[in-house]
Amino acid sequence: MSRPRDFLRHLHTAVQRLGYRPAGDPLVEDAIDDLFAVGRDLTAATGSAELAVSDPVALDGVVIEGAAIEYGGLLQTLRDRGVEVVTLVAPVERADVAAFALVVAGHGGAPGDTVRLDERGTERPVRASSLNRLVPEALGVLRRIAEDGVRLDVVADVAEPLAREAIADPDDAFVRAAALASGDDVAEHSTAVAVLSAVAGARIGVGRDRIGVLTTAALLHDVALLVEPDLLHRDHPVAGAGRILLAAGPGHEIAAAVALEHHVRPDGTGYPGIGRTPHPFSRIVAAADGFGHLVAGSDTRPPRAPGDALRVLGAAGEIDPAVLVAFRAAFGDRPAGSLLRLDGGEVALVASSSGTALVVSDAEGHRLSVPEPVDLRARTVVAELLPDEAGIDAAELPDLLG
Amino acid sequence: MARAAAGPQGGGRLTDSVDEFTRELAATADGDRIAVRVMSDVLAGERRPSRVGPLLDAWGDRFAGAVRRGDHDDAASWMQILVDDVEWSEDLAPLVEGVLDRVTTPDLVEILVLDLQRDAVGGLDLLARWGRRLVPCFLDWIVVDDPPVSRKHVVDHLGVIARSDVGALLPHLQDDRWFVVRNFATAVGRSGSQEAVEPLTACLAHADDRVRVEAVRGIAALRGDAALTALVDALADDSERVRGAAISLLRAIRSDDVSTAIEAVIDERGVDAGDVRRLVSVIEDRGGPDADRVLERLAARRPVFGARKVARDAAREALERRA
């Protein structure tokens, strides 16, 4: 267990105990002792430590893998109290740590000088997106596979930065993925699945050292359809896994497993029926793939708006519930890029999963030359719209938000 | 709300499922045997010979690599795919036979058997799965002057193969070379298969008594108490080696019929006088009321000559020791 994670763990324990025990209770004091000890350790080397209650959670700019899910409730509580950054300054005082725990537990007050709230000393985790450049690169690599064959190293070279950027800005990643997935192009669908898998994977605890392998596997999950467009859909998992097994390169076993298993349900049924629980990466990619197909629609099923797709994803038990939690935690109930009809007839574009939105067209359907911010909490959402229904090209959404 | 459900203050089941998933992620190291499972599933699902051929070549590379690095557990898993996991259609079976022939090279087999001498983990499992394809190689090592491992080891390995596939060894009981037949008879005798009894029984007529000894031993091992008749018959063999083996094996039979069967042989057949004492000692060593009654009958025989006299005297001595 890392010290940054320990800090969250002991804060969680202290806040929980303060929920049903008074300050000064021995159990509460024990938890605060632990929290104080970790705070002292975290600041020992550098003199201070900054916890960003952001998405993803980071300490001194380093993402704490999986913390957003593991301590999602605590982090939401912090945000509800208006806390976005917690800065610990050496020498950390125990009394300040105790006061901080009381603040988070809703007892009011304010911590002292050694535990400061919302004082940003360093930059937040990287937000600048290079997806504008990386998505076309990924598409190019995938489209060349039909001629060049499967080269794991080439795919991995584009997958790793793609994953890094997607994780850095899940909202941007989601908007782009939803736009890419709305068509029927296999390369675009695969890139969307890769972007979503990277973000969800990071949420659910896939370590930084393995996220590239997950994203590589996600990019290649439909490789057979890239190479053999006429292949029966039911045959593409086996055919794709076979192609990847024949390709040398880092992580090719996992990529082959994901290609094989991305239509297998958690109970081992589906196609091909393998009779065992698929690899965790396969379950993550299966969720992203399912989302992509819901957004794209098919001959027999109309396309769904991204938020709607997130809501119905996994309804038939085809997705691992834990992965669904990660997806919904990563992208929110009303994901960025969602187009909403408001009670006044305007169309608003959700700019971030935290709830900011822009009105992009008025009640008469006229596009605004400059989108206007709107507080969704003050408005009633009448419907979620597909881009076509809102008169907007899906491919345009990332630029509208940019 | 999913976000709350995922957190410490949220609902338990979803939080548990996330925790479980996270633990599973940590436990699923990249180095586990994912490739074996995927290859197995792909070969089970892919039916196009044009695609199966290259996959089998890749299989061969993986298998040979595992053997060369001494990871016989891994090699056995790869072999399992081809020989156990996948049912091959008629058009694909020749491709599979082809790749199995290609990987069954003397140098790979030698790596395995040398490792087996060092009790390598997984080696026996691999040996059993590789199975009948190793038999020609082992046959060569029985014939040559300087095999890479002792012939005892070669026969031991053939015995392992016989346990799962005795049919692969049976044709070699017809070999023209007595020493080949003897070694294969030894291995076949360890098969545990009743299918082997008849071919071994046929070996009892082999011209070389060393073959007949192994045949008697094999039949005794395979049939247990039911081998009594064959062992009693072997007491009439011209060869002292064969008779000696049969007498030793009679000691191991638990059936109450052994004592009376020996009595009948002494009474009715021309048993060698030297064998008689050993046969009486078999009865004595068994002990119990049945054995005592047979000893008493033998001791009471008169008039007696030759082997029957030897039997009477030996029985009396045995009874005296008992008293």
Q: Among B7, B13, B51, select the one facing A72 at the smallest CB separation.
A: B7
Name which residue leads in pLDDT, A48 or B90: B90
Q: Among B8, B13, B45, select the one facing A12 at the smallest CB separation.
A: B8
User: Does the structure show a pLDDT above 70 at A10?
Assistant: yes
Q: Among A279, A320, A326, select the one facing B34 at the smallest CB separation.
A: A279
CB contact under 8 A, A73 and B6: yes
Q: Among B3, B22, B42, select the one facing A72 at the smallest CB separation.
A: B3
Pairing of strands A356-361, A62-63: unpaired
Q: Averaged over B174-203, what is the pLDDT? A: 97
Spell out which residues of chain A touch residue B2, defining contact as CB-CB under 8 Å.
324-325, 328-329, 333
Spell out which residues of chain B touch residue A69, defining contact as CB-CB under 8 Å.
6-7, 18
**Test the A interface: residue of B1, B3, B40 with most A CBs within 10 Å:** B3
CA angle B121, B123, B125 (to 5 degrees): 105
Is the separation of the CB atoms in A169 and A129 below 8 Å?
A: yes
pLDDT digits (tens, 9 = 90+) for B40-66: 999 999 999 999 999 999 999 999 999
CB contact under 8 A, B22 and A70: yes
Give the 3-state DSSP-derived string for chain B, with helices as H, strands as E and coil as C.
Answer: CHHHHHCCCCCHHHHHHHHHHHHHHHHCCCCCCHHHHHHHHHHHHCCCHHHHHHHHHHHHHHHHHHHHCCCHHHHHHHHHHHHHHCCCCCCCHHHHHHHHHHHCCHHHHHHHHHHHHCCCCCHHHHHHHHHHHHHHHHHHHHHCCCCCCCHHHHHHHHHHHHHHHHHHCHHHHHCCCHHHHHHHHHHHHCCCCHHHHHHHHHHCCCCCHHHHHHHHHHHHHHHHHHHHHHHHHHCCCCCHHHHHHHHHHHHHCCCCHHHHHHHHHHHHCCCCHHHHHHHHHHHHHHCHHHHHHHHHHHHCCCCCCHHHHHHHHHHHHHHHHHC
pLDDT digits (tens, 9 = 90+) for A323-348: 999 898 889 888 999 999 999 999 99
Q: Averaged over A295-316, what is the pLDDT? A: 93
User: Does the structure show a pLDDT above 60 at B30?
Assistant: no
Residues within 8 A of A (CB atoms), B 12-71 only: 13-14, 17-22, 24-26, 28, 30, 34-35, 37-39, 41-42, 44-46, 51, 54-55, 58
Average pLDDT, chain A: 88
User: Does the structure show a pLDDT above 70 at B35?
Assistant: yes
- CA B323, CA B317: separation in Å to the nearest integer? 10
Least CA distance to A11: which residue of chain B?
B8
pLDDT digits (tens, 9 = 90+) for A41-67: 888 878 888 888 877 788 887 778 777
pTM: 0.74
Q: Which residues does B229 contact at the CB level (< 8 Å), separation at least 6?
A: none
CB contact under 8 A, B9 and A74: yes
Spell out which residues of chain A touch residue B41, defining contact as CB-CB under 8 Å.
238, 241, 260, 272, 274
Closest chain B C-alpha to A190 CA, distance in angstroms: 21
Residue B64 is predicted with a pLDDT of 96
User: Does the structure show a pLDDT above 90 at B22?
Assistant: no
Beta bridge partners of A116: A87
Residue B157 is predicted with a pLDDT of 96
Is the separation of the CB atoms in A103 and A19 below 8 Å?
A: no
CB contact under 8 A, A322 and B28: no
Asked, as a colleague might, if the bond just before A91 is cis with ω within 30 of 0, I would say yes
pLDDT digits (tens, 9 = 90+) for A173-195: 999 999 999 888 999 999 999 99
pLDDT digits (tens, 9 = 90+) for A101-159: 888 877 777 777 888 887 554 433 333 458 888 999 999 999 999 998 999 999 999 99
Residue B1: pLDDT band (50, 70, 90) is very low
Q: Among B20, B22, B45, select the one facing A238 at the smallest CB separation.
A: B45
- Please give the DSSP secondary-structure letter assigned to residue A354: T
CB contact under 8 A, B22 and A71: no
Look at A387-401, B111-125, B179-193 and tell me which has the smallest mean pLDDT: A387-401
Q: Averaged over B303-309, what is the pLDDT? A: 81
ipTM of the predicted structure? 0.77
Where is A376: in which H helix or E strand? none
pLDDT digits (tens, 9 = 90+) for A244-294: 999 876 678 999 999 999 999 999 999 999 999 999 999 999 999 999 999
User: Does the structure show a pLDDT above 60 at B4?
Assistant: no
CB contact under 8 A, A324 and B20: no
User: Does the structure show a pLDDT above 60 at B194?
Assistant: yes
CA angle B248, B254, B257 (to 5 degrees): 95
pLDDT digits (tens, 9 = 90+) for A359-384: 999 999 898 888 888 988 888 999 99
Residue A16 is predicted with a pLDDT of 75
Q: Averaged over B168-185, what is the pLDDT? A: 98
Residue A112 is predicted with a pLDDT of 79
Spell out which residues of chain B touch residue A279, defining contact as CB-CB under 8 Å.
28, 34
- Which strands make up the sheet holding A58-59, listed edge to edge? A62-63, A58-59, A48-52, A85-89, A115-117
Least CA distance to A65: which residue of chain B?
B22
Residue A73 is predicted with a pLDDT of 74
**Test the B interface: residue of A65, A76, A78, A277 with most B CBs within 10 Å:** A76
- CA B319, CA B323: separation in Å to the nearest integer? 6
CB contact under 8 A, A74 and B25: no
Spell out which residues of chain A touch residue B7, defining contact as CB-CB under 8 Å.
69-76
Residue A393 is predicted with a pLDDT of 85
**Test the A interface: residue of B42, B59, B63, B86 with most A CBs within 10 Å:** B42
Q: Averaged over A79-108, what is the pLDDT? A: 85
CB contact under 8 A, A75 and B7: yes
CA angle B218, B223, B229 (to 5 degrees): 95
Name which residue leads in pLDDT, B80 or A351: B80
CB contact under 8 A, B30 and A245: no
CB contacts < 8 A (A, B): 130
Q: Averaged over A299-324, what is the pLDDT? A: 93
CB contact under 8 A, A204 and B38: no
User: Does the structure show a pLDDT above 80 at B12?
Assistant: no
Distance between first and last Cα of chain B: 92
